[in-house]
């Protein structure tokens, strides 16, 4: 029975099944993982990956990574990533990296993890027109990945939106658990608002964006800005977010054995980043139960072959019920992490173009001039 539940439940359900009441999961990145649940390996998603998507998955498999849910965080952080697979394909196909975007790193806090990478659009000059800002949060279940793994999306957004994109690193679990990641996301947003004019960027034209765990942080930070009377973001782009802690969501079942993210991995992330099972119901994690009123327009992107697909679809419904402007699309034939694969997966270009078209009017309105 336990194995059945872990194979089909949400992040919260997996945590409830593996962690005793009031117990804390380890705060050591070398601590052993929880027992990996058995899942039906035929549950690879409701449709088949496109040829381009399958090529990425095949190359990723050839890199020899081990199942994340069987590793410690320390080991998981050293595994090959989908971004590595994309780079291999780009090298094989002689696809050059876009070098028109200038980057610089800075710190917003005292912890080494509290840093940002700033992406300047090609024509951005200190004495030219002020540009809009996008604050971007990367994925990795709040446990793995970093600014380098999630370089493609902020780079593409800087160029497509002619915006200064600030990609935020944050402290990772299990060394620092929830809500440290959400606190860092909010602190970085405040810091960007304070620094914007020094970069010749307009703090009044700011948006939030993120993928996976970062898609959660983007919307949670918009809620934080509303509650703390900060400058509100003009738009939120949330790509396959963690958003719904209810058990037995459809995508947890039909994509239980999907790649590169499967349902057991959600339980693995929860084991390491949550303090206790109560964190699963905190509205910063369980966004569908948060106060979603009074938010800016939201764009949600999902992949069909992804255990987090239902999260995005349910979040869109919750946002609409709260009276917000929201648009959500689920793209067929692609998996979790596809949004950063525009160089090699055509569907990504379509999804990015739609997202940019949704965001651009929000960021262009009330354009500030020097």
pLDDT at position 2: 33
Q: Is 306 one of the catalytic residues?
A: yes
Q: Do residues 326 and 297 lie in contact, with contact meaning Cβ atoms separated by under 8 Å?
A: yes
Residue 12 has pLDDT above 60, yes or no: no
Report in angstroms the alpha-carbon separations of 117 from 98, 153, 250, 326, 356.
16, 12, 36, 28, 20
Share of the chain above pLDDT 90, in %: 88
Which domains does the chain possess? 90-364 (3.40.50.1820)
Q: Among residues 306, 310, 311, 362, which one is catalytic?
A: 306
d(CA 358, CA 361): 7
* Confidence bin at 106 (pLDDT 50/70/90): very high
CA separation (Å) from 291 to 249, 296, 349? 21, 13, 33
Closest CA to 322 of 223, 182, 250: 223
Mean pLDDT across 265-288? 96
Give strand pairing partners of 340. Answer: none
Backbone angles phi, psi at 321, to 5 degrees: -60, -30
Q: What's the pLDDT at 21?
A: 35
Task: State the maximum Cα–Cα separation within the chain, in Å, rounded to a whole number.
Answer: 65
- Greater confidence (247 vs 355) lies with 355
Instruction: Tell me how far apart the alpha carbons of residues 100 and 62 are, in angstroms, rounded to a whole number.
Output: 31
- Of 212, 245, 251, 304, the active-site residue reads 212
Q: Is the dihedral of CA 340, 267, 314, 293 positive or negative?
A: negative
DSSP conformation class of 255: T
Task: Give the whole-angstrom CA distance, residue 257 versus residue 265.
Answer: 10
Query: What pLDDT score was predicted for residue 28?
Result: 93
For residue 212, indicate whether it is catalytic.
Answer: yes
Say if residue 157 is preceded by a cis peptide, omega within 30 of 0.
Answer: no
Mean pLDDT calculated for residue range 281-288: 98
Separation of CA 49 from chain center = 21
> Distance (Å, rounded) from C-alpha 359 to C-alpha 145?
26
pLDDT in tens, 45-93: 999 999 999 999 999 999 999 999 999 999 999 999 999 999 999 999 9
Cα–Cα dist 264/270, whole Å: 10
235 is catalytic: no
Our measurement of the distance from residue 182's CA atom to the centroid of its chain's CA atoms, rounded to an integer in Å, reads: 13
Active-site pick, 10, 254, 336, 355: 336
- Phi first, then psi, for residue 299 (nearest 5°) are -115, 130
E strand map for 26-130: 102-107, 115-120
Q: Per-residue pLDDT averaged across 205-222, rounded? A: 99
316 membership: H or E segment, kind and range? helix 309-321
CA distances from 61 to 57, 79, 265 (A): 6, 11, 16
Tokens at 43, concatenated: 């549950």
Structure tokens at 89: 């394909």
């Amino acid at each position: 029975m336990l194995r059945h539940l872990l194979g089909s439940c949400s992040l919260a359900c997996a945590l409830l099944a593996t962690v005793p009441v009031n117990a804390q999961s380890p705060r050591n990145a070398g601590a052993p993982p929880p027992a990996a649940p058995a899942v039906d390996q035929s549950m690879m998603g409701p449709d088949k990956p496109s040829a381009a998507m399958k090529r990425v998955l095949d190359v990723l498999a050839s890199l020899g990574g081990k199942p994340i849910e069987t590793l410690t965080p320390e080991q998981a952080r050293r595994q090959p990533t989908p971004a590595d697979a994309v780079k291999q394909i780009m090298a094989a196909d002689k696809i050059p990296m876009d070098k028109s975007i200038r980057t610089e790193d800075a710190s917003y806090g005292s912890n080494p993890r509290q840093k940002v990478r700033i992406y300047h659009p090609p024509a951005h000059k200190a004495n030219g027109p002020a540009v809009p800002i996008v604050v971007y949060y990367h994925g990795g279940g709040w446990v793995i990945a970093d600014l380098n793994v999630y370089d493609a999306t902020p780079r593409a957004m800087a160029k497509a939106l002619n915006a200064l994109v600030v990609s935020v690193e944050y402290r990772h679990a299990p060394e620092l658990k929830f809500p440290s990641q959400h606190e860092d996301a909010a602190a970085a947003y405040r810091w960007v608002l304070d620094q914007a004019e020094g970069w010749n960027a307009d703090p009044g034209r700011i948006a939030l964006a993120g993928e996976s765990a970062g898609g959660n942080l983007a919307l949670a930070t918009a809620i934080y800005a509303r509650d703390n009377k900060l400058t509100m973001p003009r738009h939120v782009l949330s790509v396959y977010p963690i958003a719904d802690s209810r058990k037995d969501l459809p995508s947890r079942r039909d994509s239980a054995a999907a790649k590169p993210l499967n349902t057991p991995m959600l339980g693995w992330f929860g084991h390491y980043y949550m303090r206790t099972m109560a964190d699963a119901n905190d509205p910063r994690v369980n966004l569908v139960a948060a106060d979603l009123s009074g938010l800016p327009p939201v764009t949600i992107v999902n992949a069909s072959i992804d255990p987090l697909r239902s999260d995005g679809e349910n979040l869109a419904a919750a946002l609409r019920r709260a009276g917000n402007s929201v648009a959500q699309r689920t793209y067929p034939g692609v998996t979790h992490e596809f949004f950063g694969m525009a160089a090699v997966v055509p569907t990504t270009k379509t999804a990015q173009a739609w997202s940019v078209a949704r965001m651009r009017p929000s960021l262009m309105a009330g354009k500030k001039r020097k």
